Amino acid sequence: MNKTINIIAGASTDSQGNAAHLIQHYINSALCEKNNILFITTHSSDSSLPGTIFRFNSGLTQLLWLGIRYQLGWLHLHLDLNFSFMRTKLIVTLAKQLGAQIILHLHNDAFADFYDAQSPKKQRKISRLFNQADKIIAASRQIARRIEVITGKQDNIQVLFNSVPHFNTPKPTPPVKPQSILFLNPITEYKTEYTAVFDLLVAFAQLLPEHPQATLKIGEMTKNEETEKLKVQINKLGVEKSITLLGKLTEEQKNYELAQADIFCLPVYKESSSTNLLKAMSAGKAIITTPVGYIPEIIFPDKNGLLFTSGDIASLHKCLSNLITDDKNKQALCKAAQRDFAEKLSESVMFKQLQTIYDSLGKHRE
């Protein structure tokens, strides 16, 4: 009898996005050794078309070779937002022919928008693809409910929140800067995220006359034109002395900025399970954000953060002022966010839940 192996497949670990980051964490954990897991790269978010074709063909060839050499247990396939239906279909079909059980894992809360934008014919194909899976993992209850409607099933859908490791506090630890506000979120994926950043600029400009010592740092921009547009608006509002544009940051730089921030503010119109929000919770930061996507499933108003409606600049201004003026409430929110992360959202918790899913597939096969 050939040795049984299991496979994780998805974006290369040097890609951008939640799925790639989580796969990297899987590889670095004890999960791989415990479950005899091998990793196959199926695509990269940074590849050209020839590079994309080459990576996919290499991954498919590797899957076939492993299926011939070993007995396959399950294939855990991570899907990005705009996943290629045809490539995913080919991987799933080959894996099932090789005897593997299928886990489809959706990380992005914008999946509903992606699905709705497809033609009825394409939607039916996606539904049939999902119905081939032995287990579907959804990164939020919102995604899970939508997949239930699409597939007509409930018993094989599992909610597993995206996660990050516990916050790695920089050494030496920088002191927290009072009244300092930090925004970290890529704003290239959706045009609406530009609007969210501009909302924050206006709210901050309104805040400064009341709290002239307040500062705002904005990070994660990746294109020069984004920076230039923000600079124009910042100068127009006359707040350039109080705002710093950080640009693209390394993980170490993110940790340093989080460590010294007083408030983490993430106004968004569409959310895709931002790892930066989870980092802020783990770091014990006072959080202001909007109830979109998966966010209201982990941030609860006046318990572990503050929520305001997307586009409501007056409410955003009120939230910022509240945290600056009420230190007791701010500290309570910080402690609650950090506690909730440790108990429900930490990487160790996620790994335990994922192991339970893996074990259930093994027992089902037996």
40 token code pair = 């196959």
Contact in structure between 123 and 130 (CB atoms under 8 Å):
no
Distance CA 143, CA 190 (A): 19
pLDDT of residue 191: 47
> Is the peptide bond preceding residue 172 cis, with omega within 30 degrees of 0?
yes
Phi, psi of 180 (to 5 degrees): -95, 130
pLDDT of residue 222: 57
One DSSP character per residue, 16-52 reads SSHHHHHHHHHHHSSHHHHTTEEEEEEE-TT--HHHH
Contact in structure between 127 and 282 (CB atoms under 8 Å):
no
Question: With 80 as the cut, is the pLDDT of residue 329 above it?
Answer: yes
Question: With 80 as the cut, is the pLDDT of residue 274 above it?
Answer: no
pLDDT tens digits, 8-65: 998 776 666 666 677 888 888 888 889 999 999 887 766 577 777 888 899 999 999 9
Q: Mean of the pLDDT values across residues 285-292?
A: 95
Question: What residues contact 79, with CB distance under 8 A and at least 6 apart?
Answer: 10, 19, 88, 104, 105, 106, 107
pLDDT bucket at 189, cuts 50 / 70 / 90? very low
Contact in structure between 102 and 77 (CB atoms under 8 Å):
yes
Percent of the chain at pLDDT above 70? 90
Distance CA 237, CA 289 (A): 22
Q: Is 13 left (phi over 0), alpha (psi -120 to 50) or beta?
A: alpha
91: three-class secondary structure by DSSP: helix
Q: What is the pTM of this model?
A: 0.88
pLDDT bucket at 356, cuts 50 / 70 / 90? very high
pLDDT of residue 47: 59
263: three-class secondary structure by DSSP: strand
pLDDT of residue 196: 87
317 token code pair = 């201004």
Distance CA 193, CA 199 (A): 10
Identify the residue with better confidence: 152 or 362. 152
Identify the residue with better confidence: 245 or 47. 245
Distance CA 151, CA 147 (A): 6
Distance CA 201, CA 317 (A): 10
Distance CA 67, CA 113 (A): 35
